[in-house]
């Protein structure tokens, strides 16, 4: 079968090859290390060095999510139009690293020195959010738009489960690397060096991309950039690809559930549980969850995805509920509570990743191959923008309405992340069963049976 200039049967027979596996691993891992800074450590940086107001975190997360989505929509369509992914990946990673390093220069002390007439805290928050949006534009162009489309370019239905299993581990593996190797710098307040190191690593990855990335973008006839931008929002497109949009909706709801608590995840361990040395617990959660995702991803290509999806979502919700119960019901955070909390975290994170492996692999199989870059942008609306705009504000509302507080070193009473953020995630996640019901029903039909049982048969929807 020849599709868009590529021999798909040959690709299925030969697999991805060592170079492609290395490229996916490298750019997947380094990209997620950069996003770990944006999604987790900027929250901690803002909370510990600028302001304790959780709304500041929620606003920053929401703003970056909107920028990420708009960027991916426009840059993904542009990479389709010019049939180039490499220039976006290589150039993007190089500049992305520089933008990360720049965070080391935005501090309240420096702002006060350079802008003495401005309100220091508010100005510092605004500058961090602006730089975060700039960094997000660059990173989304390189990673969310170009790299994610590149993954679609070089994979096929028979190996996408393995590729998704690998990529799904990268956010947690990246967090593990950052926690294990670099968290000590943040603990000692050496934030500038922390940002410089991460930025330097991303720059090196961009340089390596010069030799590793080879464009394999399908050729399109009569491509129109402006028409491509609105293609995914047309009612006819939604109707013609309704199962793909249901998959996106499922990921969206699961993402909202996660974003209720994930921006405050580390802060919860440190300030509510009183676990100052949280690295070991988080490392165990991230490492074992990553292993679960890799192993599970190998099975996704071989067995029924419907059952995999249902079990993963149920256990994901159970994990969140257990974290809430443990946080509220356990009298003190002793060794037993620590083990049970780690186990619940592994259950929650590991099964969330498995659900993402299944949904992402099915979604890639259903993406119209003539508009991969466009649909990577549409995917961001559901995967990033809506969850990161809605979820953090739910979590912030829960935190600010609680009576759980502590007094900081300046004598100011501050809000503390509480176990109810996991309960909020659990309740939001229950809505996922609505689209999943229709997905499972569709996968039982002959039209979409190949998506549920992909091995040896099945192809992408080329509508």
Does residue 206 belong to any structural domain of this protein? yes
Rounded Cα distance between 108 and 130, Å, is 15
Check residue 361 and give its pLDDT.
80
Does residue 4 belong to any structural domain of this protein? no
Phi-psi region of 458 (alpha: psi -120 to 50; beta: other; left: phi over 0): left
Q: Tabulate helix, strand, coil % of the chain (nearest 5).
A: 80, 0, 20
Check residue 462 and give its pLDDT.
37
Q: Please tell me the total count of domains within the chain.
A: 1
Of the spans 21-30, 49-58, 197-206, 395-404, which averages the highest pLDDT?
Answer: 197-206
Task: List the domain range (segments joined by +) for residue 35.
Answer: 16-452
Task: Give phi and psi for 405, each to the nearest 5.
Answer: -135, 170
Does residue 300 belong to any structural domain of this protein? yes
The share of the chain scoring above pLDDT 90, in percent, equals 34
Check residue 429 and give its pLDDT.
96
pLDDT at 414 over 80: no
What DSSP element (H or E) covers 406? Answer: strand 405-407
Strand, coil or helix: what is 414? strand
Strand, coil or helix: what is 253? helix
Write out pLDDT tens, residues 168-191: 778 878 888 888 889 889 888 899
Does residue 126 belong to any structural domain of this protein? yes
Average the pLDDT over 134-160 and give the result. 86
Rounded Cα distance between 388 and 47, Å, is 18
Check residue 11 and give its pLDDT.
47
**Residue 10's pLDDT band (cuts 50, 70, 90):** very low
Judge contact between 31 and 139, C-beta under 8 A: yes
Does residue 463 belong to any structural domain of this protein? no
pLDDT at 203 over 90: yes
Which ranges of 188-278 would DSSP assign to H, the alpha helix? Answer: 191-212, 225-231, 235-240, 242-259, 265-267
Mean pLDDT, the chain, rounded, equals 83
pLDDT at 447 over 50: yes
Does residue 60 belong to any structural domain of this protein? yes
Rounded Cα distance between 266 and 279, Å, is 9
Judge contact between 232 and 375, C-beta under 8 A: yes
Residue 295, both tokens: 């192993």
Does residue 459 belong to any structural domain of this protein? no
Judge contact between 383 and 39, C-beta under 8 A: no
More confident residue, 341 or 157: 341
Strand, coil or helix: what is 303? coil
Average the pLDDT over 304-325 and give the result. 91
**Residue 16's pLDDT band (cuts 50, 70, 90):** low
Does residue 205 belong to any structural domain of this protein? yes
User: How many CB atoms are closer than 10 A to CB 87?
Assistant: 15
What CATH number is given to the structural domain containing 38?
1.20.1250.20
**Residue 13's pLDDT band (cuts 50, 70, 90):** very low
Judge contact between 376 and 11, C-beta under 8 A: no
pLDDT at 1 over 90: no
More confident residue, 456 or 20: 20
pLDDT at 4 over 60: no
Angle of helix 335-366 versus helix 279-300 axis, rounded to 10: 30
Report CA torsion sign: 22, 24, 25, 29. positive
Record the pTM.
0.74
Judge contact between 57 and 396, C-beta under 8 A: yes
**Residue 408's pLDDT band (cuts 50, 70, 90):** low
pLDDT at 3 over 50: no
Look at the block and give the residue holding tokens 């498995």: 354
pLDDT at 76 over 60: yes
Look at the block and give the residue holding tokens 């030969």: 14
Strand, coil or helix: what is 240? helix
């Amino acid at each position: 079968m020849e599709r868009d200039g590529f021999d798909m049967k040959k690709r299925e027979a030969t697999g991805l090859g060592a170079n492609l596996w290395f490229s996916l691993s490298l750019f997947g891992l380094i990209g997620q290390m950069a996003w770990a800074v944006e999604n987790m450590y900027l929250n901690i940086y803002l909370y510990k060095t600028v302001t304790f107001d959780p709304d500041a975190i929620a606003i920053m997360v929401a703003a970056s999510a909107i920028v990420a989505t708009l960027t991916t929509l426009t840059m993904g369509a542009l990479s389709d139009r010019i049939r180039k992914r490499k220039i976006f990946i290589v150039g993007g990673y190089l500049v992305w690293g520089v933008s990360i390093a720049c965070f080391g220069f935005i501090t309240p002390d420096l702002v006060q020195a350079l802008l003495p007439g401005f309100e220091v805290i508010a100005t510092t928050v605004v500058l961090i959010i602006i730089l975060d949006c700039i960094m997000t534009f660059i990173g989304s162009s390189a990673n969310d738009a170009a790299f994610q489309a590149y993954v679609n370019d070089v994979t096929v239905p028979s190996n996408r489960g393995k590729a998704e299993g690998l990529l799904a581990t990268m956010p947690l593996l990246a967090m593990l690397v950052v926690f294990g190797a670099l968290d000590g710098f943040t603990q000692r307040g050496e934030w500038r060096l922390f940002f410089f190191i991460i930025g330097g690593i991303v720059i090196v990855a961009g340089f390596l991309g010069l030799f590793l990335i080879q464009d394999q973008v399908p050729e399109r006839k009569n491509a129109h950039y402006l028409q491509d931008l609105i293609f995914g929002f047309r009612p006819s497109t939604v109707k013609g690809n309704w199962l793909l949009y249901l998959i996106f909706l499922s990921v969206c709801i699961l993402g909202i559930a996660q974003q209720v608590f994930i921006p405050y995840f580390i802060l919860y361990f440190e300030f509510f549980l009183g676990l100052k040395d949280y690295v070991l617990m988080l490392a165990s959660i991230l490492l074992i969850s990553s292993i679960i995702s890799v192993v599970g991803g190998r099975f996704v290509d071989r067995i029924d995805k419907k059952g995999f999806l249902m079990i993963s979502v149920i256990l994901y919700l159970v994990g969140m509920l257990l974290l809430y119960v443990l946080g509220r019901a356990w009298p003190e955070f002793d060794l037993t509570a620590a083990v049970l909390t780690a186990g619940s975290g592994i259950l929650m994170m590991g099964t969330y990743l498995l659900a993402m492996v299944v949904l992402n692999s099915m979604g890639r199989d259903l993406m119209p191959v003539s508009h991969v870059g466009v649909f990577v942008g549409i995917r961001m609306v559901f995967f990033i923008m809506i969850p990161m705009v809605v979820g953090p504000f739910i979590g912030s509302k829960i935190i600010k309405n609680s009576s759980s507080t502590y007094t900081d070193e300046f004598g100011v009473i501050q809000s503390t992340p509480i176990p109810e953020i996991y309960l909020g995630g659990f309740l939001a996640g229950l809505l996922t069963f609505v689209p999943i019901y229709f997905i499972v029903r569709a996968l039982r039909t002959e039209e979409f049976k190949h998506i549920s049982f992909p091995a040896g048969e099945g192809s992408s929807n080329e509508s």
